[in-house]
Amino acid sequence: MREQLVLPLKLQQSDGKVRELQTAVTQLPAKLDPLRRDLAKLQGMLDGERGKLDETNSWRRSQQETIDREREALRHAQNKFQASKNTKEFTASSREVENKRKAISDRESELKKVNEAAAQSTAQLEARDRDVEALRSELTGSEAAMSGQLDALKAELAEATAGRDAARAQVDPQWIKIYDAVAAKRGYAVAPVVKGVCQGCHMALPPQLSNVLARMESIQTCPRCSRMIYRKELLEAAPEAASDAKPDAKP
């Protein structure tokens, strides 16, 4: 009979193991989520900076084109200056040459500053690109390592599930019904009794029920929480006592 009494407890332990492994299998892939989020954020920032740099570069090109046109205009002005026939023409073309030179020089010095800033941004962007690449390869490595871990966990889960199914098959169908109903209602269906108190609901059991439990002849349930109950010292101490009784090979 003792074997019959221990079966629901074994089933509960197997169920617990299966649930624990199911949680682990679900949660393991989520462990890399913070790294994935960091990577996406950095990539987003990098894309934004690259966009700004592209804008700057197209501005630089258009400035350079303007300067080229202005140089062309300056050459015309210089030709006019050299061809000036009187003081009036000379003064006017001289002023025009001066103005154009000044405009080109202003634009060039502004472009130079922007070019320097763009060179700096490009260097920063390349450094960040390398950081993002390093993070990405870290993630890839972790994902590869995790896939091995996950496979191992899934194999463990399959084994635990088979063990649970076997444990379930051993419990009498009438007790399975009760087991499932109480587990659904109260979280778990089998509770130890310690010093006459049900550890599922903390009710002190009637003394005669404690005596019935002590005889270990039948499965009993708690009058308050309906869990299947057993005297903790009688069932749980047993494996330890058995291993103590076994002569050990250790010196």
Judged by the rule CB under 5 A, the positions of this chain that interact with Zn ion are 198, 200-201, 222, 224-225
What strands, in cross-sheet order, belong to the sheet with 228-231?
A: 197-198, 190-194, 228-231, 220-221
- Between CA 60 and CA 66 the distance in angstroms is 10
Q: Min. distance of Cβ 179 from Zn ion in angstroms?
A: 15
Q: Which is nearer to Zn ion, 160 or 193 (CB)?
A: 193
CA atoms within 13 A on the CB side of 244: 5
**Closer of 34 and 207 to Zn ion (Cβ):** 207
Q: How far is the CB of 13 from Zn ion (least distance, A)?
A: 19
In angstroms, what is the minimal distance from the CB of 199 to Zn ion?
Answer: 8
φ, ψ of residue 243 to 5 degrees: the values are: -75, -30
| Residue whose CB is less far from Zn ion, 7 or 222 | 222
CA separation (Å) from 218 to 3, 12, 81, 108, 230?
11, 18, 121, 99, 10
164 vs 227, which CB is nearer to Zn ion?
Answer: 227
Q: How far is the CB of 8 from Zn ion (least distance, A)?
A: 14
Neighbours of 5 (CB within 10 A): 21
